[in-house]
Amino acid sequence: MSTRPQKSLETFPNPAPGRDYEIRFECPEFTCVCPKTGQPDFATLHITYVPDELCLELKALKLFLWSFRDEGHFHEDVTNLILDQLVGACRPRRMRIEGDFNVRGGIHTTVVVEHVGGR
């Protein structure tokens, strides 16, 4: 396999830093494992952000999200962790992540986390 999961995130310069615009990613194949049972958890992550000076590079984002596949995390923990790491990498003006987790034990969970930064 030519690629492997990785925790590092790559960015590139925002081509229009003087304008507010949204970038939206839908990531329907996110997986991690339940820290209690070790069983897989599946989610669709909806990531929306307004870049400042930097934008997230998509291949690096894919490999970053893949890196959680074998890690045990509660839904709330992993959604906040991903937000913190993405914000740290690209320092956006705003970012919102909605983790829409598949039903587990008869309960559907959605976790929404937000970051509002400044210039």
Residues 59-105: tens digit of each pLDDT: 999 999 999 999 999 999 999 999 999 999 999 999 999 999 999 88
In 1-119 the beta strands, taken as DSSP E runs, fall at: 11-13, 23-33, 40-50, 54-56, 94-104, 107-116
Neighbouring C-beta atoms of residue 27, cutoff 10 Å: 16
Q: How far is CA 25 from the centre of its chain?
A: 9
52 as an active site residue: the answer is: no
34 as an active site residue: the answer is: yes
- Residue 114 is predicted with a pLDDT of 98
- What single-letter DSSP state applies at residue 72? B
Say if residues 89 and 11 touch (Cβ distance below 8 Å). Answer: yes
Residue 118 has pLDDT above 60, yes or no: no
User: Among 41, 55, 90, 100, which one carries the catalytic annotation?
Assistant: 41
